Amino acid sequence: MYFPSSRPWADGETLSEHLERRGVSRRDFLKFCGEMTAVLGLSSAMTPKVAAALAAMKRPSVIWLQLQECTGCVESVLRTGNPSIGDLVLDVISLDYQHTIMAAAGHQAENALQQAMKDNKGEYLLLVTGSIPLNDDGIYLTIGGRTAKEILVDAAKGAKAVIAVGACAHWGSVQAARPNPTGAVGVSEVVTDKPVVNIAGCPPISDVVTATIVHYLTFGNIPELDYDGRPRFAYSSRIHDQCPRRANFDAGQFVEEFDDEAARKGYCLYQVGCKGPATFSPCPIFLWNSGTSWPIGAGHPCIGCTERHFWDTMSPFYKRMPDVAGFGIESKVDLIGAALAAGAVAGVAAHATATGVHQIRERRRERELPIVNQPPSGKKE
């Protein structure tokens, strides 16, 4: 077995023993399990079950294929300034084959892939980042003389579950934008005989990847998915319904230019192109960069990166979005007044409070991590 980690699992070691050896306390491990339980939208009464299942887990086999992509998803999932236990869980399980971070190259790397597939047939978790080019017999991406499609079909055969990480693996992303010269498609268009979990986003939030894996390791199956194969625990709410600038939207307070007074006050970004009303993603709750900030919190409109075909359907990115089916936002935006605001804000707050992941944000607040999305200091609303 090939182990690129400097601290590989010992034979027969459980996750709890392995984390202890790496200096993680039982208290921190339980805190991580509590957070994952909340992220998954489960009752806190389930935390002991999650902890017991994870603690007893022996090293699972994960094969990670990187196909047509920019490696941004790998960076998002694996690189962090402040590694959490979740990062360690990913680190310790993502080791059988990952051609960017593994030391091996060429035939040695190909042999590691074949060996891992053979040794763990029917048991391994297959993670895929990147799209699959199908035009011209798939010649636009070959590794070791095989096309991306051949590699994926072969690896998916023996996988217990398949997780497509990021927009490229989800539906093709920028390579699939019109005119899609390579015929790029997502994993679920090639692997059709088993469910594929789509962790949407360009790139996706690593907490969502970790929680999906924790669900699989705890319950032995994948989490409930939405119509587009995305885990419901993460993608069931619109950015717009969780956004700290929603009160400004409801009050008709909009940024018109990126350097105007409204921008400095942190008003709503709808008029400068925000696609939050048509985008389902947990960004406002999970945040980015170890919980430091997120695009709208930093003053940039959402471009809808968790939605299929967003390069074509959400652009131009800095233009006000057209009417959204079922929402009528374009007609409402100029009419909405402060009188509507109180009720709408109360509704949003109630929704957020009821959301399991909201608890994570509260805990991060308690730990005094920096919280963004507040009006700039010294400014009055």
Q: Which is nearer to ligand SF4, 170 or 245 (CB)?
A: 245
**What is the distance in angstroms between the CA of the first residue and the CA of the last residue of the chain?**
60
Q: Minimal CA–CA distance to 372: which of 302, 276, 297?
A: 297
Q: Which is nearer to ligand SF4, 160 or 246 (CB)?
A: 246
The yes or no reply on residue 296 touching ligand SF4 (CB under 6 A) is yes
Question: Closest separation between CB of residue 315 and ligand SF4, Å?
Answer: 12
Question: Closest separation between CB of residue 265 and ligand SF4, Å?
Answer: 13
Q: Which is nearer to ligand SF4, 86 or 277 (CB)?
A: 277
Instruction: Show the binding pattern over residues 112-151: x = contacts ligand SF4 (CB under 6 A), - = does not.
Output: ----------------------------------------
My answer on whether omega of the bond before 244 falls inside 30° of 0, hence cis, is no
Question: Closest separation between CB of residue 365 and ligand SF4, Å?
Answer: 20
Pairing of strands 62-66, 184-185: unpaired
What CA–CA distance (Å, rounded) separates 328 from 340?
Answer: 16
Instruction: Show the binding pattern over residues 221-260: x = contacts ligand SF4 (CB under 6 A), - = does not.
Output: ------------------xx--x-xx--x-----------
Residue nearest to ligand SF4 (CB): 276
What CA–CA distance (Å, rounded) separates 369 from 381?
Answer: 24
Q: Which is nearer to ligand SF4, 34 or 166 (CB)?
A: 166
What CA–CA distance (Å, rounded) separates 48 from 340?
Answer: 43
| Angle made by CA atoms 192, 113, 11, in degrees to the nearest 5 | 115
Question: Closest separation between CB of residue 261 and ligand SF4, Å?
Answer: 16
Question: Closest separation between CB of residue 23 and ligand SF4, Å?
Answer: 32
Candidates 113, 117, 134, 303; binder of ligand SF4 (CB under 6 A) is 303
My answer on whether omega of the bond before 179 falls inside 30° of 0, hence cis, is yes
Instruction: Show the binding pattern over residues 193-212: x = contacts ligand SF4 (CB under 6 A), - = does not.
Output: --------x-----------
* Identity of the amino acid at 200: A
CA–CA distances in Å: residue 109 to residues 60, 70, 100, 116: 19, 20, 10, 11
* Residue 238 β-bridge partners: 280
Instruction: Show the binding pattern over residues 48-87: x = contacts ligand SF4 (CB under 6 A), - = does not.
Output: ----------------------------------------
What CA–CA distance (Å, rounded) separates 336 from 333?
Answer: 6
What CA–CA distance (Å, rounded) separates 5 from 94?
Answer: 9
Neighbours of 309 (CB within 10 A): 15
Candidates 302, 348, 352, 357; binder of ligand SF4 (CB under 6 A) is 302
Instruction: Show the binding pattern over residues 253-282: x = contacts ligand SF4 (CB under 6 A), - = does not.
Output: ---------------xxx---x-xx-x-x-
Q: Mention every residue, 6+ apart, whose C-beta is less than 8 A from residue 333.
A: 249, 252, 254, 270, 271
**Residues near ligand SF4, by CB under 6 A:** 201, 239-240, 243, 245-246, 249, 268-270, 274, 276-277, 279, 281, 283, 294-296, 302-306
